[in-house]
Amino acid sequence: MLKATGYDIRLVIYEDAAIMVCQAWSVKDLRDVLLKIVKEGPKAIIENAKVINEYEVAGSLDFPGILKPLSLFREGNRLIMASEWAHGVTLKYFAMSGAVSLRVFLKIASGITAILEQLHQKNIIHMNIRPETVVVVPATMQVYLTGLGHAFAMNEDRRQTGNIPLMEGNPPYMAPERGRQLDGWIGAGADLYSLGVTLYETLAGRLPFLAKNVLEWAHAHVARAPLPMDDVSPEIPVILQQIILKLLEKSVMRRYRSAAGLRADLEACLKQYEEQGRMDGFELGRQDSCGPAGTPSEKHPEAKGSYAQVLDLEAVLRASQAFSEEKDSLKLLSRLMTIMLEASGADKGVWIKSAGGELFMAMKLDLKRNASLWTGFLPLDTCSEVSPAFVREAAISREPVIRSDAGGGQFDEADLYMLRHGPKSALGLPVLMQGELQGVLYLENNYTAGVFAGDSLSLLQMLALQMGQVHALTQYFEPSNPEESYREPLPGSAPALTNRELDVLQGVAAGLSNKEIADRLVMSAGTVKVHVRNVFDKLGVNNRVKAVAMAAKLNLLQTKGIPQMGYVQDEK
């Protein structure tokens, strides 16, 4: 355990790789204090900067709910800050120690919101609201906010020193605008969103989204709907669920505009519950207003984007890792497409390949439905997964085409796909190599408007080009003669199989396994599996025996050289 000169550490409250927070006894002052101790290591410089920031911000505040810093001193290369001790526990521990009643929950939520209201009135954004930075005193239900190392003030002088903490954060609790353009500013709404995640977790006992890494968390906040609270806690009143979901709105403009409006609704719920034993519905945000720290007309471009750079770096590292790890080209393509969706904030992606002067749908990944990659080769005009006109606009102009909110009338009335599906955000990104069009990457988000921005597409272009090259090198449905191989079959004629699919079909008819076919055709077994699945779909069958029988009936097989042997069972 770490030590601090002049202090007797009694209880560790929180600890990670960079810091330790503990209760300690001050030998000099003969009192309990809260110590935040920075650990030696590669993050010590950043953590020291955050401790200094917290010491200055908290020291400038004088209202209940903020633990007053007492001293800041250095030991070696690390800083230690001593603050007032509140005889409390973190909200995380408090919630884990037993079920939180609705009355207690409302008191805690109102207490947190009241502190936030005062912070925002002083133009200070906390930027680190989560269960570990909320302290609850069980005996009195008094609430305190800690973790002000990420805080910054909404003015020119303090915002510059506050930009460093924006590089970091706790991904499960970070507002969508922290990593995306969206409404283009970071303000009080970021704190309210983080509070929404915190309150959701306190009530439901789980986070509103599931993710495993930084990129997945950023994607979830932008492109996924929160998990239903009823699945875990059906007894949660509907009005409380509505309040939390309003806090979790993707767009700043759709959330509560101020902590004051949220506090009024929470207090109304508490009053109903104490007087009637229940909470009835009412119009939310009736006393909402836009405080100084939440004025949407104030744009702060220098207060955004730093965390987006962290996400871009994570995407590049994950793509490099995928190239170094995956031998199966299908798995590599799936990982690259997934990284692009997560990095961009899309929930659906389609790769439209340019071949022989025509456009073909070559790959699709839809995270709303499942995480399996579809690969094939369909003429663009026969594809129901994208708008042909939208994609062609990007292909012809050689410029990104961005649309936001179909419901807002930004799509052509003749564009049936856009009118029918109404994506909140859509992007058509042309991908060029040495001036030649390789294809168009189509991305859409069905939850959030304004996700795609023209000044942040270079990473996507790079990843899309890499994916397109992998797709071409592995010969996924590459047309040798597009006009001949991909024309629509006449009624009653044989389905249009690609040359590669015909080669695989020959192997199936010869009784070869996927691995044997892969070895013969110099491709991966995963690629063969995709070809076999597409052959089944085109022939309208569901197993190898039926596929060979149908192929023979349609004269698709070269009978010369096919050994007479038993068929291999379908490989799952």
pLDDT tens digits for range 163-179: 444 556 789 999 998 87
Same domain, 114 and 65: no
Tell me whether residue 220 is in a domain: yes
Overall average pLDDT of the 11-30 stretch: 92
Tell me which of 449 and 561 has the higher pLDDT: 449
Tell me which of 326 and 474 has the higher pLDDT: 326
Identify the pLDDT of residue 409: 53
Unique residue bearing structure tokens 């993050």:
43
Overall average pLDDT of the 143-156 stretch: 86
DSSP string, 515-553: HHHHHHHTS-HHHHHHHHHHHHHHHT-SSHHHHHHHHHH
Identify the pLDDT of residue 330: 82
Amino acid in the structure at residue 405: D
Same domain, 190 and 321: no
Contacts of 391 (CB under 8 A, 6+ apart): 352, 359, 380, 428, 440, 442
Same domain, 173 and 116: yes
Overall average pLDDT of the 563-567 stretch: 37
Burial bucket for residue 71 (CB in 10 Å: 0-12, 13-18, 19+) = middle
Question: Which residues sit opposite 11 in a β-bridge?
Answer: 23
Given pLDDT bands bounded at 50, 70 and 90, which one contains residue 410?
A: low
In this model, does residue 319 exceed pLDDT 80?
yes
In this model, does residue 465 exceed pLDDT 60?
yes
Tell me which of 98 and 301 has the higher pLDDT: 98
CA distances from 475 to 7, 365, 468, 500, 547 (A): 67, 19, 11, 8, 22
Residue 406: φ, ψ to 5°: -60, -30
Given pLDDT bands bounded at 50, 70 and 90, which one contains residue 308?
A: confident
Q: Which tokens go with 386?
A: 């994208």
Identify the pLDDT of residue 321: 94
**What is the domain-level CATH number for residue 404?**
3.30.450.40
Measured CA angle at 369 (ends 366, 374), to 5 deg: 45
Given pLDDT bands bounded at 50, 70 and 90, which one contains residue 157?
A: very low
Identify the pLDDT of residue 419: 83
DSSP string, 330-379: HHHHHHHHHHHHHHHT-SEEEEEEEETTEEEEEEEEETTT-SPPEEEEEE
Tell me whether residue 476 is in a domain: no
Outline where DSSP puts E strands in 96-180. 124-125, 134-137, 142-145, 152-153
Same domain, 232 and 347: no
Per-residue pLDDT reduced to its tens digit, 334-349: 999 999 999 999 999 9
Same domain, 104 and 239: yes
Tell me whether residue 223 is in a domain: yes
Per-residue pLDDT reduced to its tens digit, 99-112: 789 999 999 999 99
Same domain, 238 and 144: yes
In this model, does residue 294 exceed pLDDT 90?
no
Crossing angle for the helix pair 525-539 and 329-344, nearest 10 degrees? 80
Among residues 66, 84, 102, the one where a domain terminates is 84
Tell me which of 497 and 158 has the higher pLDDT: 497
Q: Which tokens go with 217?
A: 């968390």
Identify the pLDDT of residue 377: 77
**What is the domain-level CATH number for residue 124?**
1.10.510.10
What's the domain range around 170?
89-293
Question: Which residues sit opposite 429 in a β-bridge?
Answer: 441
Taking the C-alpha atoms of residue 306 and residue 76, their distance in angstroms, rounded to an integer, is 30
- Quick one: how far is CA 317 from the chain centroid? 17
Q: What is the pTM of this model?
A: 0.80
In this model, does residue 1 exceed pLDDT 80?
no
Same domain, 79 and 204: no
Tell me whether residue 473 is in a domain: no
Q: Are 319 and 467 in contact, with CB atoms under 8 Å apart?
A: no
Unique residue bearing structure tokens 């207003």:
289
Taking the C-alpha atoms of residue 35 and residue 3, their distance in angstroms, rounded to an integer, is 10
Q: How many domains, in total, are found in the chain?
A: 4
Per-residue pLDDT reduced to its tens digit, 542-562: 889 889 888 888 888 865 444
- Quick one: how far is CA 283 from the chain centroid? 30
Q: Which tokens go with 204?
A: 């439901």
Identify the pLDDT of residue 304: 43
Closest CA to 186 of 303, 292, 295: 303
Identify the pLDDT of residue 155: 61
Provide the 10 A C-beta neighbour count for residue 371.
11
In this model, does residue 284 exceed pLDDT 80?
yes
Burial bucket for residue 63 (CB in 10 Å: 0-12, 13-18, 19+) = exposed
Measured CA angle at 42 (ends 37, 45), to 5 deg: 60
Overall average pLDDT of the 403-409 stretch: 64
Identify the pLDDT of residue 309: 81
Tell me whether residue 558 is in a domain: no
Per-residue pLDDT reduced to its tens digit, 34-52: 999 999 988 899 899 999 9
Same domain, 280 and 210: yes
3-state SS string for 410-429:
CCCCCCHHHHHHCCCEEEEE
Given pLDDT bands bounded at 50, 70 and 90, which one contains residue 291?
A: low
Identify the pLDDT of residue 184: 56
Among residues 84, 116, 141, the one where a domain terminates is 84
Same domain, 450 and 493: no
**What is the domain-level CATH number for residue 46?**
3.30.200.20
Tell me whether residue 2 is in a domain: no
Tell me whether residue 304 is in a domain: no
Same domain, 511 and 438: no
Identify the pLDDT of residue 485: 37
Amino acid in the structure at residue 174: M
Q: Are 460 and 341 in contact, with CB atoms under 8 Å apart?
A: no
Identify the pLDDT of residue 302: 38
Identify the pLDDT of residue 182: 63
Contacts of 514 (CB under 8 A, 6+ apart): 525, 528, 529, 532, 571
Write down the mean pLDDT value for the chain. 84
CA distances from 546 to 294, 438, 502, 513 (A): 64, 37, 15, 16
Tell me which of 242 and 452 has the higher pLDDT: 242
Same domain, 285 and 179: yes
Same domain, 243 and 266: yes
Q: Are 428 and 338 in contact, with CB atoms under 8 Å apart?
A: no
Amino acid in the structure at residue 59: G
Identify the pLDDT of residue 566: 36
Among residues 24, 53, 84, the one where a domain terminates is 84
Tell me whether residue 461 is in a domain: yes
What percent of the chain has pLDDT above 90?
52
